[in-house]
Amino acid sequence: MEKLALHELWMLPYDLEEERAKEFLRRRGAGRVGVQLPPGLGGCWPEIGATLEECGVEGILVGSSCYGACDLADEEALKAGCGALLHYGHSDMGLPSKLPVLYIEARMRVDPSPAVEDALHGLGYKRLGLTTTVQHLSYLENLRKLLLSRGFEVHIGKPSGRAKYLGQILGCDVGSATSVAEKVEAFLHVGTGSFHPLGVAAATGKTVISVNPLGGRTVLSAAEFLRWRRGVVAKALSCRTFGILLSTKKGQWRPELARRVEKELRKEGRKTVMLVQDEIRVGDLKDFGMEAYVCTACPRIALDDARSTGEILLTPFETEVMLGKRGLEPYLL
């Protein structure tokens, strides 16, 4: 299957759990329901809308960002007069909500086994950690058996924070990798994009073979990532003014951490200002005129979104590295 653009991802077969959604809607008895869709799944709306119509429910599409379960739009749905919210594409993190929420993980009905089989040729490792994102978790056990049948030793770890399942990786939780890192030579990650496997590589120091379920593999090295981040930290050393970024998103709001970062920077003679936003857009930071920034929200903002800009953007961990309080390795998200 050829590679699809983000706006074409909805064309793939996802499990939208229509019957579970219907049961939830009937049980809640809400006349109006909010629907939150992540990038790539917007095209699924007609199918979802038909399910709502069948239940006699008005659907309201919440068009704000939806980058994870941390980005829950319960308050927006409530303002729109909704009695419940359907959140698609992510697993439940257990965040408190102002109205009932049904998390529909939208698991992909594409078996990644052929792509994984192709990726095994000339691998050079025998002890592998196996990780994935929620969209492909239904195939994790089959992949484990496939690897075992090909003579590999396979380890699937436990999450340490917000991830819900064994083997599941989030941008803010790579526990499924770090918990088995000492037992493996490398990791095999099943999913699209580089952010999640890069997090695994950085946190474990191991090579990650990232397999796209639609075909193709990428080998990611922790060394390259650490060189990049070491360079960013070095640039920040000479900066005197820092903007500390906070996101008001329900699962990313960390004011205590922001105050702690502020205190440490000021102790070392830096000037700081708190910048509070809902969605932090790296491209807009130049308007604030700070020499460097520290992001206390999702690590993806500093480690992925900032790659294409000239902004010096650190994570709280990297700020401690810059101030000489710890080393860059082992890297912490």
Sheet harboring 207-211: ordered strands across? Answer: 153-155, 127-132, 186-190, 207-211, 217-220
Least confident span in 63-67, 169-173, 192-196:
63-67
pLDDT tens, 76-90?
A: 999 999 999 999 999
Residue 128 sits at φ, ψ, to 5 deg, of -115, 140
For CATH 3.40.50.11860, the residue range(s) in the chain are 225-322
b/e per residue 138-170 (b: at least 16 CB within 10 A): ebbeebbebbeeeebebbbbebeebbbbbbbbb
> What is the model's pLDDT at position 7?
47
For CATH 3.40.50.11840, the residue range(s) in the chain are 6-106
CATH of domain 113-220: 3.40.50.11850
At how many degrees (to 10) do helices 45-54 and 18-28 cross?
A: 40
pLDDT tens, 216-252?
A: 899 998 898 899 999 999 999 999 999 999 999 999 9
Instruction: Tell whether pTM > 0.75.
Output: yes
- 266 SS3 class: helix
Contact 154, 134 (CB under 8 A): no
For CATH 3.40.50.11850, the residue range(s) in the chain are 113-220
Would you mind telling me the total number of residues written for the chain in this entry?
333
At the second CATH level, the architecture of 6-106 is 3-Layer(aba) Sandwich (3.40)
- 2 SS3 class: coil
Q: 3-state DSSP: the chain helix, strand, coil percent, rounded to 5?
A: 40, 20, 40
pLDDT above 50 for 40? yes
| Rg of the chain taking only CA atoms, in angstroms | 21
pLDDT tens, 246-277?
A: 999 999 999 999 999 999 999 999 999 999 99
> What is the model's pLDDT at position 96?
95
Task: Report the distance separating Cα 48 and Cα 325, nearest Å.
Answer: 50
> What is the model's pLDDT at position 303?
87
Overall CATH class of domain 225-322: alpha beta
Between vectors from CA 128 to CA 126 and to CA 130, what angle results, nearest 5°?
150
Count of alpha carbons within 13 angstroms of residue 135, beta-carbon side: 25
Most confident of 23-27, 38-42, 305-309: 23-27
